[in-house]
């Protein structure tokens, strides 16, 4: 490895660009090469599910072009370039036949959408939205249309349902669970979101799945397992994300649910790091913005010579369903305790306490969502 080899960051999502910005706060000159499979635009991904509510077209959600980022961050940036492998022993990245040397390599290449294998001939009507390019394609396809079916009732499915209703579209949500966001919210809070979205005009088809997607004129017919049939112009598939681990695993890096890293964001290979949606940090796979910001601050320091461990605080998540403001801070996975629920219509305050009364997590909806900051202060940090 030559001394001139750059720090290479793969991925220009929030993780990649946040890391580059953190490095530049301390060092304007260190050579940084960023590589991305997409067009390298800087944008805030959470905004993708607020386009109609905020009255913004896809391009208005972009914050800067790739060229502007090159200028702003004094970096080299290769767009529309897909990394195909890592040779960590040689400190090289593979891009097809090309080999590229790195001094330090940072994997910030995000998560893949899970795609369902559904019978039928209407797959060109199905959209998964996990980046700005996906969103542009979806908005273009939506022009002149009015009916959208959403497969999946997780955070992203619910946010798109609310946003599309705010844009005046007819929306149906189909999901196998008996309520929304089952892994994230306790049932009373989730049911409050269902009730509010139903009042907004969203049609829910829960405890069932889409079995077939058939072309139907210019649109699509959805056959559900419960015997119902729905008509839509477009379908959004929002059934989940999976950290991108394949290339890392093929290169011999340790992977589990994500690319395994310790609190210093070090993978099992020397000089290779990971953060963001692709990473499993000290056992945590948190596909949200707050964790990746904390990681980018710590990793910038390490890359500049001071090995630094990330310390996760509490990580509350706001669900962007304006018809029922919702905030949640899930309790640790194996935490022992109980949910205590107070409810006044759509206003739900669910507090998860251990036997000693310590608050370990919460979910608040409606008027109680305002309490999220005060509650978050009470919950012990993830890395206490
Ligand atoms: P990504 O943004 O996915 O970036 C991955 C990058 O890697 C891309 O540039 C891609 O082109 C590149 N790449 C991938 N593979 C390769 C390869 N082989 N070679 C080269 N480049 C490659 N979180 C919150 O905290 N709050 C919210 O309100 C919220 N809302 C959301 C709403 C939506 C609709 C979605 C989809 C997510 C939301 N999230 C939210 C999650 C949050 O946006 C993500 O956790 C975060 O943006 C992930 O950033 P990332 O940089 O790790 O990954």
User: Strand, coil or helix: what is 233?
Assistant: coil
CB of 29 closer than 8 Å to CB of 127: no
Q: What confidence score (pLDDT) does residue 4 get?
A: 81
Give the span between the Cα atoms of 100 and 77, in whole angstroms.
Answer: 14
Atom of ligand 1 nearest to the CA of 289: 25
Q: What is the mean pLDDT of the chain?
A: 97
Do the bridges between strand 234-237 and strand 126-127 make them parallel or antiparallel, or are there none, so unpaired? parallel
CATH topology for the 325-378 domain: Enolase-like; domain 1 (3.30.390)
Give the residue, by CA position, lying nearest to ligand 1 atom 13: 109
Of the candidates 80, 78, 195, the one whose C-alpha atom is nearest the C-alpha of residue 133 is: 80
Domain 7-111+242-303 and domain 115-237 have a common topology = yes
What is the interface pTM, i.e. ipTM, of the complex?
A: 0.99
H or E element, residue 203:
strand 203-206
Q: Which residues contact 66 (CB under 8 A, 6 or more apart)?
A: 12, 39, 40, 41, 77, 79
Average pLDDT, integer, range 141-150: 97
Ligand 1 pocket mutation pick from 34, 41, 109 by most atoms within 8 angstroms of CB: 109
Domain ranges of the chain: 7-111+242-303, 115-237, 325-378
Residue 333 banded pLDDT, cuts 50, 70, 90: confident
User: Strand, coil or helix: what is 204?
Assistant: strand
Give the span between the Cα atoms of 148 and 170, in whole angstroms.
Answer: 6
Ligand 1 pocket mutation pick from 289, 290, 325 by most atoms within 8 angstroms of CB: 289
Q: What confidence score (pLDDT) does residue 178 get?
A: 98
Which of the four CATH numbers 3.30.479.30, 3.20.20.140, 3.30.300.30, 3.50.50.60 does domain 115-237 have?
3.50.50.60
Per-residue pLDDT of 151-170, as tens digits, reads 999 999 999 999 999 999 99
Give the residue, by CA position, lying nearest to ligand 1 atom 28: 46
Per-residue pLDDT of 267-307, as tens digits, reads 999 999 999 999 999 999 999 999 999 999 999 999 999 99
Output the CA angle 41-42-46, nearest 5 degrees: 120
Give the span between the Cα atoms of 76 and 6, in whole angstroms.
Answer: 10
Average pLDDT, integer, range 204-217: 98
Q: Which residues contact 231 (CB under 8 A, 6 or more apart)?
A: 147, 216, 219, 220, 221, 222
Q: What confidence score (pLDDT) does residue 3 get?
A: 67
Average pLDDT, integer, range 358-373: 97
Give the span between the Cα atoms of 375 and 369, in whole angstroms.
Answer: 10
User: Strand, coil or helix: what is 109?
Assistant: coil
Ligand 1 pocket mutation pick from 9, 11, 241 by most atoms within 8 angstroms of CB: 11
Ligand 1, pocket residues at CB < 6 Å: 10-16, 35-38, 45-46, 48-49, 82-83, 108-110, 129-131, 156, 244, 276-277, 287-290, 292, 317-318, 320
CATH topology for the 7-111+242-303 domain: FAD/NAD(P)-binding domain (3.50.50)
Average pLDDT, integer, range 96-114: 97
**Across the chain, which distance is largest between two alpha carbons, in Å?**
65
Atom of ligand 1 nearest to the CA of 17: 51
Per-residue pLDDT of 10-68, as tens digits, reads 999 999 999 999 999 999 999 999 999 999 999 999 999 999 999 999 999 999 999 99
């Amino acid at each position: 490895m030559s001394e001139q080899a750059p720090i290479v960051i793969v991925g220009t999502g929030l993780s990649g660009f946040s890391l580059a910005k953190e490095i530049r706060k301390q060092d304007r000159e260190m050579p940084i090469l960023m590589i991305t499979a997409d067009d390298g635009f800087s944008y805030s991904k959470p905004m993708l599910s607020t386009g109609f509510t905020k009255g913004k077209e896809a391009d208005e959600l972009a914050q800067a072009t790739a060229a502007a980022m090159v200028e702003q961050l004094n970096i080299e940036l290769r767009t529309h370039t897909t990394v195909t492998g890592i040779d960590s022993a040689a400190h090289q990245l593979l891009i097809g036949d090309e080999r590229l040397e790195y001094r330090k390599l940072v994997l910030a290449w995000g998560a893949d959408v899970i795609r369902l294998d559904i019978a039928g001939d209407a797959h060109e009507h199905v959209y998964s939205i996990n980046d700005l390019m996906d969103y542009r394609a979806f908005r273009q396809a939506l022009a002149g249309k009015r009916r959208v079916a959403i497969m999946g009732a997780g955070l992203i499915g619910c946010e798109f349902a609310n946003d599309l209703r705010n844009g005046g579209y007819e929306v149906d949500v189909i999901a196998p669970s008996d309520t929304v966001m089952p892994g994230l919210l306790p049932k009373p809070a989730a049911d409050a979101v269902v009730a509010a979205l139903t009042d907004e005009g969203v049609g829910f088809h829960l405890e069932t799945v889409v079995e077939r997607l058939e072309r139907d004129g210019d649109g699509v017919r959805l056959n559900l397992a419960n015997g119902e049939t729905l008509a839509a112009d477009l379908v959004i598939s929002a059934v989940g994300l999976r950290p991108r681990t394949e290339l890392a695993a093929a290169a011999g890096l340790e992977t589990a649910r994500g690319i395994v890293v310790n609190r210093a964001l070090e993978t099992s290979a020397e000089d290779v790091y990971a953060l963001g949606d692709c990473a499993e940090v000290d056992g945590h796979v948190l596909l949200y913005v707050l964790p990746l910001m904390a990681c980018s601050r710590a990793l910038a320091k390490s890359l500049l010579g001071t090995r630094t461990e990330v310390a996760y605080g509490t990580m509350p998540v706001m669900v962007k369903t304006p018809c029922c403001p919702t905030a949640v801070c899930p309790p640790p996975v194996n935490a022992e305790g109980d949910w205590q629920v107070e409810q006044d219509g759509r206003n739900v305050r669910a507090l998860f306490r251990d036997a000693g009364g310590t608050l370990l997590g919460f979910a608040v909806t409606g008027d109680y969502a305002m309490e999220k900051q005060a509650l978050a202060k009470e919950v012990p940090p993830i890395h206490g």
